[in-house]
Amino acid sequence: MIDVSETELHEALAAALSVDRWVTEVAAAAPFASREQLLAVAHDAATPLSDAEIDEAIAHHPRIGEKPVGTGTAQSFSATEQSSADAGDTALAAALAAGNAEYEEHFGRVFLIRAAGRSRTEILSELRRRLTLDDAAELAIVGEQLRDIAVLRLEKLFPETE
């Protein structure tokens, strides 16, 4: 059983995916008998996200390679998710910054990827690959990445209990 107050649930959901419709829809399904039920509802409610919801969520994500602005659970997640063994490589940081700028020029939004578990080298490779996509294909990938990030964050916020 997920045993948190309505306020705590809303705060956790907003830290996982800052999309008002999604937070409201997932919270409305509470109480959750299990972590698995919460994760399933969260996944389904984010499949798919609308273009406007993607924009809403992206507004709360820093560029890859940049520190989050402000403090809080979502910012802490972003900092942790973007940490990697090659984070101190200045040439790689410059390449990511250039890739971010090219992506933003091409698509008109910040590049977003589930960074957790990926090196910056892998992220740069994926950024370059995604620059070859059309806007519709890329937007679908961004929505999937946001959903995956949300589920990973919820897994951390609501660890399995014995």
Is residue 87 within 8 Å of residue 52, measured between CB atoms? no
With respect to residue 132, please indicate whether it lies within any of the assigned structural domains: yes
- Chain center to CA of 59: 11
Q: Is the pLDDT confidence value at 81 over 70?
A: no
Is residue 103 within 8 Å of residue 135, measured between CB atoms? no
With respect to residue 162, please indicate whether it lies within any of the assigned structural domains: no
Q: In this predicted structure, what is the pLDDT of residue 63?
A: 80
The range of the structural domain enclosing residue 80 comes to 6-157
Please provide the average confidence, as pLDDT, over all residues in the chain: 90
Q: Please report, for the domain that includes residue 83, its CATH number.
A: 1.10.3330.10
With respect to residue 98, please indicate whether it lies within any of the assigned structural domains: yes
Comparison of pLDDT for 85 and 80, the residue scoring more: 80
Q: In this predicted structure, what is the pLDDT of residue 1?
A: 86
With respect to residue 1, please indicate whether it lies within any of the assigned structural domains: no
With respect to residue 126, please indicate whether it lies within any of the assigned structural domains: yes
With respect to residue 96, please indicate whether it lies within any of the assigned structural domains: yes
pLDDT per residue as tens digits for the range 25-66: 999 999 999 999 999 999 999 999 999 999 999 988 878 777
With respect to residue 115, please indicate whether it lies within any of the assigned structural domains: yes
With respect to residue 40, please indicate whether it lies within any of the assigned structural domains: yes
Domain count, the chain: 1
